[in-house]
Structure 1
Amino acid sequence: MSTSVQERVWTNLGPITAGGTVFGLAAATQQDSRFYWAVTGCGVYVSRDGESWQQRLAGLSTPLLSAICVAPNGALFAGALGGGLFSSFDYGRNWEQGRVPSEGRATVTVMTASPNFGKDGTVFAGTDGAGLLVTRSSGDVWEESSFG
């Protein structure tokens, strides 16, 4: 018995910005529309087709972003290379900076939203050297979280 594995082909769509390294990606479907987000050292970029990208910087105090996630209700969260954390509730058009404790300021490497984000407003952010940060206020205030 044999099975054939269908070959998966990746296509290079080219750079979304000149010289920008993509550090994180997120995707969501909202009301029959697709949205894609990429974070780079040049800010946040949004696309509806994965080929043409528009930069979104409104409200960001730094363009040096390193991680992004989308919550089940479409809210976006982005982390910065210097430890800043940002939220957007309009598909990335505008961003607000959250309050992060000074001891939690380290490059954000990964982010994820709670499956129950609509009810609990919880998002986690992993950092490079400062452990895990959590918000239970939809990104307004972040605090350190312990593993036990």
Structure 2
Amino acid sequence: MRCRITLIAIAAVSVGLTVGCSAAKPLEVDPARTSVEYTFRDSSVPPEYHRSYVIKASSTRATITVDSYGDVLRQETTAVSAETWTKVTDLVRSLPERTKDIKTQKPGCAGGTASKIVVREGDDQRYSRHIEDCGGGPVAPLTDTAAPLEALFDMRDLLKTNG
């Protein structure tokens, strides 16, 4: 009887470890129906230096809106090539694995920035992740995913300040 209980306990622990240590499942998306929204929130600085932005992209076009505390400063739209969209959707598929070990941080750190990504397939939200960056936060999975979209725009010109 003790042997059976011991075997059952070992089996239960093994199953738990297997499930707990397994890789996150890739996000399955249909590139033709997928849209990606990446938001960067700048740190709290005077309005003339503050630049936050949102990039909304689909398989054919991307739009960036740059603001300073809600006041829209610039907006541009550009075409998205098939090659760029393939890069983006490949990165989107791997987001669950690349973000699985990132702990949820408390929002609103003093002086920090934040990044958020939302992936939709049609009207269905398939993935969303918000990460605060308070001096070295783990935002790379989100910024790496947004990088091919940012490359479509002249970010230096769009984010230039008056100061």
TM-score (norm 2): 0.26
Bigger Cα Rg: 2
**Which of the pair has the greater relative contact order for Cα pairs under 8 Å at 6+ separation?**
2
Question: Which is helix-richer, 1 or 2?
Answer: 2
TM-score (norm 1): 0.28
Question: Which is strand-richer, 1 or 2?
Answer: 1
